[in-house]
Structure 1
Amino acid sequence: MRRRLALMTLLFASCIACSPTHSSLTQALEHAPPPVVEFPPLSSEPLPASEISEEHRLPELLPQKPEDAVTALSVLRAEVRLSPDRADSRLKLAEGLFRIGDLDAAIDECRAAIALESNNAQAHLQLGVALMAKQDGRAASTALKESILLDPTLTQAHYSLGSVQYSLGQLTAAIQSYRRALELHPHFPDARYRLALILKLTNQHREATQLMEDAAIGGIPQAQYFMGNAYRNGQGVEKNLALAIHWWTKAVELGQQRAAESLSQLRRQALSPDQSDRRKKDAYEGFNQYRGQLWADYPDAGRNGHSDSLGITLLKESQSPNGVTTLLAEAFALGETAHEELARLYETGLDTRFTQFDARILTCFTTTAGDGFVPAKKALARIYGKGLGVTQDVQKAKAMLKELPKQESKAILADIAGP
C-alpha cells in the first residue's frame, strides 16, 4: 500500500490549483510505465500532462535555478517573522519548504496556518498534499475531507481525495470523489482519465471507454495512447486501425514515447519482408485510411483523387502552417507523395514555415527510414551524400541504398556525385 501511496502522492501534489493569495505546493510526475495494451492499474500510470483550464493548471512553481528557491525561502521566512499571525504567510512558507523537499517543516507550517485560521479550506488542502508526499494516506484523507467540508466546491480537493482513496484501496469512494470533481467542473479531462482507469479496474468497461475517449479528446496523452491501443485491438470499441493511428499520432505530438513505438511497430509491419502479405496489407490499409481521414478536417480543400496529398493541397491554397503540419503527418503515415514534397522543401525551404534543412523533416526521414520506408532511405542517401544540412557521409549514403536494386542504387549515387 505504501508503494501505491507513494506513486499517487505525485499525482496528488500536481493537481492542486493556486488560490488568489497563494499558489499550490508542487507539480510532479510519476514515471512507472503502464501495461502496453489494457488500461493499466491507476498506480502504474504516469501523470497526464493535459491542457486543462487555468482553474486546474499549476503555475511554474520550481525556479529555474536551485539557488532561487533558497533565496525565496529566506524572504518567506522573513515575512513570517514580521507577521507570525498571518495564515497566508505561513502557507507561502509551507510551499517554499515543499519546493526544497522539507516535508516535515511544510506540514508544520500548514498546521500553524490552520491553528490561526481553522476554517481555511486551502490550508487543509495544502496540508493534505504534504501528507501525501509523506505517504501518510489516512492523515491526508482526513485533511482533504476537512477541506471539502469547509468548501464543498473545491474541485481540486475532490479530485485529490479520489487519488488518496484509490491508494488506500477505497475504489468505490474514489469513484464518487472523481464524479464529484466532474460535477463541479465537467471539462476536467484529468478527472475523466483517472475515473476511467478505476472504472476499468471495477469492470465497468463501457463507461470507462467513453470517459477515456473524452480524456483523449481533452488532450491527455496517456488517454490518447490507450485509445490507440483500444482501437488497434478492438477493446471496448470496434477495431479500427486508422483511428488507432489517429490517437497514437495525437499522443506523439504531446511527447508520448510509447505511442511513437506503437506507430513504429505498425510501420515495420507494413514494410517488413518477414511479415505475411495479409499483415502487411492490413497495416498499409490502416495508414492509407488515416491519411484519407485527414481530409475531413478541411472540407473546403480541393481534392482531385484518393492519392492526393492534403498537405500539398493546403500549401497550394496558401495554408502554409496547416500544410506543413499535415505533410509531416502524412509522411510519418507512409505517404510517398508527402515524402517527395518534404524532400524538396528540405533543400529549398518554405518562407519561415520550413527553413532550409529543417530538422523536423530530417527527423521524419530518419524515423521512417529506420522502419524500412524506401522513399525516406532515398532522401537520406541524397542528404548525406551531398552533405545537405549534415556532415557529408558518402558511406552512410551508400548504406541507405544497399537494399535497393543495383541499377536504381547506381543512378542515385551518380546523381549524388554530380554537380
Structure 2
Amino acid sequence: MKTLYIDCFCGAAGDMLLGALIEAGADYEAISKALNSLGVDGYTLSCEKVNKHGTMATKFDVHVDDAHDHPHRHLRHIVEIIEAGDLPKEVKEASLETFRRIAECEAEVHGTTIERVHFHEVGAVDSIVDIVGVHLALHQLQPERIVSSALHVGSGTVKCAHGVMPVPAPATVLLLRGVPSYSGDVDGELVTPTGAALVAQVADEFGPMPHMRINTVGVGSGTKDLPDRPNVLRVMWGDAVGDFHTKESITVIEANIDDMNPELLPPLLEDLLESGARDAFITPILGKKGRPAHLITVLADDKKVSAVTDTLLRGSSTLGVRMRKEQRICLERDWKHVLTPWGDVRVKIGTYKGTTSTTSPEYEDCARVAREGGVTTREVYESAYAAAIKGEYKDA
C-alpha cells in the first residue's frame, strides 16, 4: 500500500507541504502548468534548494507583484477561479473543500456567514497556489494512505489582518478540531490556517510514523529562520509493511431504491466511482411492500464521503442515505506488467504477510488487447495469468 507520512515537527504551511511533496516526487513543471490555467495574474513561481539550519530543503515560493491589483476575495470568487482552471475533477473538488473548511472557520470566528467572509491572508494569490498545488501533487502521487504526526503549532502571538492574535490563531484552532496538536517552545506561529486546513483534510489518521518501507523523503522549507532548529516539514513516501497496515476504516453508504429506471443504475455506479468511491455495487432486494428493489452500496474514504453522497443523492431517486463506519483488512497491492502474444497487460498482485496471495490480470487491459488482436478476452486473460504465475514480469 502506497503510504505517505507527514512529519510536522516544526509546524505546517501550504508552501512547506508542497515543497516536500515536490522533493518526494511530484512533478513541479506539471504543477506549474496546471496552476497557470487558473487565470490568476501578478505572480511568478520558484522552486529551489535552500539550507535551513544545516538541513537542505525545497523552498516553493510564490513571488507576488505588489504593483498588481490583488483584491480581497469571497468564497464565490475562489470557486470561480478553481472551476475555470484546467484541473482534474478530483483536484477541483479537494481544493474547494479546503477553502470551504477555511471559510466555515473564519465565519465562526467573526460571527458571519461563509458567503460574507473576506479571504485576507488565505485568499491571497499565494494561498490559492499553495492549496491547489498541494492537491495537484497528491493527485500525481496517488497515496493510498496518508498519516500525519501531531502538529507543532508554536506559541505566543501573531500579527494578522485583524490585529494581534494568540497562537494558534482563532481560525487555525477551529481548523485543528479533532487533530492532535501541541504548543512547544518556539515563539511564533508555526501552523498557518492553510497548513492546518490541508493536513486536517488529507490525513486519514494521526500518530507516529507507521511501519513502512521508505522510498523517498521530501523536505519542504518554511519562511522562518529559527535559532535552534530547521523550519521544515518532512514527508516520507513509500510502501506499507506488516500487519499494522492491513486494517483500514471505511465509510459504507447505502440506499434502497424501488422507483428508479433500471437503465440509469449502471451510469450511477460509474458516476459514484468517478466521484471518488473505493467501490460501488448493486444488490437486488425486496422492498417493504414486496416490490423488487435495489440496494445501492458505496464504500468511501472519509475525505470522499461528501462528494460521493452528493453524487448518490443527485443521481438517484432516493430520498436519503444511511452511513456507517466499518473496519476492513486489505492485502498489500502492487501492479506489474506481463507480455502476452497480443500485447502488454497489467497484473494486480495481492500480498499478505510478505507472501503473494492473489494474482489477477486487469480485465480492461485484457479486453482492449483482445479487441486489437482479434482474439477472445479469455485467451488474453489466461495467457497473462500464466505469465504472472511463472513470474515473467516485464518490471522484473
**Same structural fold, with TM-score higher than 0.5 when normalized by the shorter chain:** no
Q: Which has more radius of gyration?
A: 1
TM-score with structure 2 length normalisation?
0.29
Relative to total residues, which structure has the larger helix share, 1 or 2? 1
Bigger RCO of structures 1 and 2 (CA < 8 A, at least 6 apart): 2
